[in-house]
Chains A and B, each alone.
Chain A
Amino acid sequence: MKRISILILIILSLISFSSQAENYQANSQLHEVQDTVLKKNEVDKSIKATSQETANSSINSAEKGVNRFISFTGFKNVTYSHIIMILVGLFFIFLAIKFDYEPLLLIPIGMGIIIGNIPFYQGEGINIQLGIYQQGSVMYYLYQGVVKGIYPPLIFLGIGAMTDFSSLISNPRLMLLGAAAQVGIFITFLGALYLGFNPAEAGSIGIIGGADGPTAIFLSSKLANGLHGTKNLIGPIAIAAYSYMALVPVIQPPIMKLLTSKKERLIRMKPPRSVSRFEKIMFPLIGLLLTGFISPSSLPLLGMLFFGNLLKESTVTKRLAETAKNSLIDIVTIILGLTVGASTQADVFLTSTSMLIFILGAISFMIATAGGVLFAKVMNLFLNKENKINPLVGAAGVSAVPDSARVVQTEGLKEDPTNHLLMHAMAPNVAGVIGSAVAAGILLSFLM
């Protein structure tokens, strides 16, 4: 019995122990679960905190991105000068479309001005390769053709292939009018010196009086390119030259009327004789040799001009002449106009210097026109009645081809509707191209 009671006690104790152990296990499991839940809660909390942080940081970065975007937009960076330049660009386009003033030049230039003056972020030391003056941008590379003086000779090649020198060959004395009109270049050179420009800058400004855009760009790219202590005046000079070329029908007629009498404006000139093929072929060759030897610095321009003309007049290189006077000159004109326009970035262009250049350019044009007209009157003193020159033709001595010749024709027809002066005016007009290129060469060799 004793044994049985002991056995029962052992069993009971075992049972109680096992239950206790179970309890303990359960308790420990409970603890584990509790721990896990707690841990999970903590993790959840930390995840929540992290996600909140992430959300905050992404909001911050988005905000930063938006702020950066806003700081990069034109609205944030716009200044009054940008708006003025954009209006100038729009005005150029308006002039070209409404009044047909040199649309082939003014539309690319006008569009270029707008492109160049869309404001963008420009921090110090930051190059986002957008602007024409920022190395690496597309416009920068296209502008190199202007800066290095590559485009003007190509334009001259096209002009040479387009130009018919027969009126000049048939009446060579009209060449002198082309020379006389270059007085505008040299007087303006002195004017620019007087206003405090250094000689290299003054030479570049003076060439505006040559009324020849490519020549003006060529010379300013060599003399006033921002190097050797000069200012970069390529943009203002090019814009001034092309603007005044477009405004020839506005600038020239009052001066022509002021300096001539009605009787002089009615002079009928002897019709030009026909010119043989031999003479036409000899002209570019002799012209190149003579002017090249006199002023070698003008070779890039005159070499290309006479080369283009030989392509045309030889009649055996028709394809090359066609390319030079159509596709090539069109391509270069597009790029040149656009980049020259874009180079007028407000911060570089809208300065008192540019205003002075515009004033000097206008004066230069007027002096050149007056020089041609007055020299024609002087020539008339020495010519017999048959060979008298209509002094209006002298105004075409500025080399804005063919606009100034067209102005002479229009003014002549106003006085006498049967007196056609166009062919006569073309002679000093193309002589003016040669004259201004020679003058550019001289200034280059003196001032470089």
Chain B
Amino acid sequence: MTLNILNIGFSNIGIEDIILVIIGYSIVFAALVALFYVFNFIPKIINVIVRNKLRRQGKHITENTDLSVTGEVNAAISTALFLYFNEIHDKESNVITIKRVSRRYSPWSSKIYGLRNFRKP
């Protein structure tokens, strides 16, 4: 089934190409399945290590096996902390535009160089 003009046809696809596709797709899967197993396994190892550590320290081990907190809870806590630390308005001076200068004396505001000095004898 080959159209000579456009060089279109199944004859363009060799057995080696089919093998490439099968092997290639399998390798992509294999790489991500391997990562899946590793990261499925890591939390379990961490749990075991934490439990052993607590046992050695003689601390009470809770019956609750689910030590994790959901991302939503974490998001709520972190938002609350962010608001608390970064957006506190209660202690603000309410003076936004006028800034008090540290050096108060200036010849411009001096009483010695006032206009009334000229009238003095």
A and B associate in one complex? yes
Q: Are A190 and B33 in contact (CB under 8 A)?
A: no
Binds B, one of A101-109, A119-127, A193-201: A193-201
Closest CB-CB distance, A246 to chain B, in whole Å?
Answer: 25
Q: Are A189 and B21 in contact (CB under 8 A)?
A: yes
Closest CB-CB distance, B67 to chain A, in whole Å?
Answer: 9
Q: Are A439 and B28 in contact (CB under 8 A)?
A: yes
Report how far A290 CA is from B28 CA in the complex, Å: 12
Contact of A278 among B10, B46, B68, B73 (CB under 8 A): B46
Complex interface: chain A residues within 8 A of B31 (CB):
179, 290-291, 294-295, 434-435, 438
Asked if B30 is at the interface (CB within 8 A of a chain A CB), the reply is yes
Q: Are A435 and B46 in contact (CB under 8 A)?
A: no
Q: Are A290 and B46 in contact (CB under 8 A)?
A: no
Q: Are B46 and A276 in contact (CB under 8 A)?
A: yes
Which residues of chain B from 21 to 74 have a CB within 8 Å of any chain A CB?
A: 21, 23-25, 27-36, 38-40, 42-43, 46, 68-74
Q: Are B36 and A274 in contact (CB under 8 A)?
A: no
Contact of A435 among B9, B20, B28, B38 (CB under 8 A): B28
Q: CB-nearest residue of chain B relative to A203?
A: B20
Complex interface: chain A residues within 8 A of B13 (CB):
190, 193-194
Q: Are A273 and B71 in contact (CB under 8 A)?
A: yes
Q: Are B35 and A271 in contact (CB under 8 A)?
A: no
Q: CB-nearest residue of chain B relative to A287?
A: B35
- 4 A-B pairs besides A189-B21, A434-B32, A439-B24 with CB distance below 8 A are A167-B71, A180-B29, A290-B34, A439-B25
Contact of A172 among B20, B39, B71, B72 (CB under 8 A): B39
Q: Are B34 and A272 in contact (CB under 8 A)?
A: no
Asked if A186 is at the interface (CB within 8 A of a chain B CB), the reply is yes
Asked if B112 is at the interface (CB within 8 A of a chain A CB), the reply is no
Contact of A194 among B12, B27, B32, B38 (CB under 8 A): B12
Asked if B17 is at the interface (CB within 8 A of a chain A CB), the reply is yes
Report how far A212 CA is from B110 CA in the complex, Å: 70
Closest CB-CB distance, B11 to chain A, in whole Å?
Answer: 9
Name 11 A/B residue pairs within 8 A (Cβ), A-sorted.
A176-B29, A186-B24, A189-B21, A274-B69, A274-B70, A283-B39, A286-B38, A294-B30, A431-B32, A442-B23, A447-B20
For the complex, count residues of A whose C-beta is within 8 A of B. Answer: 49
Q: CB-nearest residue of chain B relative to A302?
A: B31
Complex interface: chain B residues within 8 A of A167 (CB):
71
Asked if A446 is at the interface (CB within 8 A of a chain B CB), the reply is yes
Contact of B12 among A183, A186, A193 (CB under 8 A): A193
Q: Are B28 and A182 in contact (CB under 8 A)?
A: yes
Complex interface: chain A residues within 8 A of B28 (CB):
179, 182, 435, 438-439, 442
Q: Are A195 and B35 in contact (CB under 8 A)?
A: no
Chain B, 65-98, contact with A by CB distance < 8 Å: what is the 0/1 string? Answer: 0001111111000000000000000000000000
Report how far A189 CA is from B21 CA in the complex, Å: 8
Report how far A333 CA is from B28 CA in the complex, Å: 27
Asked if B115 is at the interface (CB within 8 A of a chain A CB), the reply is no
- With A172-B39, A278-B46 already in contact, the answer to whether A271 and B34 are too (CB < 8 A) is no
Complex interface: chain B residues within 8 A of A278 (CB):
46
Q: Are B71 and A170 in contact (CB under 8 A)?
A: yes
Q: CB-nearest residue of chain A relative to B69?
A: A274
Chain A, 170-188, contact with B by CB distance < 8 Å: what is the 0/1 string? Answer: 1011011011101101110
Asked if A443 is at the interface (CB within 8 A of a chain B CB), the reply is yes
Most chain B beta-carbon neighbours within 10 Å: one of A175, A195, A272, A282: A175
Closest CB-CB distance, B28 to chain A, in whole Å?
Answer: 5
Asked if B117 is at the interface (CB within 8 A of a chain A CB), the reply is no
Asked if B7 is at the interface (CB within 8 A of a chain A CB), the reply is yes
Closest CB-CB distance, B76 to chain A, in whole Å?
Answer: 12
Complex interface: chain A residues within 8 A of B25 (CB):
182-183, 186, 439
Closest CB-CB distance, B21 to chain A, in whole Å?
Answer: 4
Closest CB-CB distance, A185 to chain B, in whole Å?
Answer: 8
Complex interface: chain A residues within 8 A of B42 (CB):
279, 282
Complex interface: chain B residues within 8 A of A185 (CB):
24
Q: Are A446 and B24 in contact (CB under 8 A)?
A: yes
Report how far A369 CA is from B75 CA in the complex, Å: 30
Q: Are B36 and A172 in contact (CB under 8 A)?
A: yes
Complex interface: chain B residues within 8 A of A186 (CB):
21, 24-25
Q: Are A179 and B32 in contact (CB under 8 A)?
A: yes
Asked if A233 is at the interface (CB within 8 A of a chain B CB), the reply is no
Asked if A169 is at the interface (CB within 8 A of a chain B CB), the reply is yes
- With A186-B21, A294-B34 already in contact, the answer to whether A195 and B8 are too (CB < 8 A) is yes
Report how far A442 CA is from B30 CA in the complex, Å: 12
**In the complex, the 9 A-B pairs of residues with the closest C-beta atoms, listed nearest first:** A196-B7, A273-B68, A179-B32, A172-B39, A271-B70, A186-B21, A442-B24, A172-B36, A175-B32
Q: Are B6 and A279 in contact (CB under 8 A)?
A: no
Asked if A328 is at the interface (CB within 8 A of a chain B CB), the reply is no
Complex interface: chain A residues within 8 A of B32 (CB):
175-176, 178-179, 431, 434-435, 438
Closest CB-CB distance, A393 to chain B, in whole Å?
Answer: 15
Report how far A442 CA is from B23 CA in the complex, Å: 9
Closest CB-CB distance, A313 to chain B, in whole Å?
Answer: 14
Report how far A166 CA is from B42 CA in the complex, Å: 13
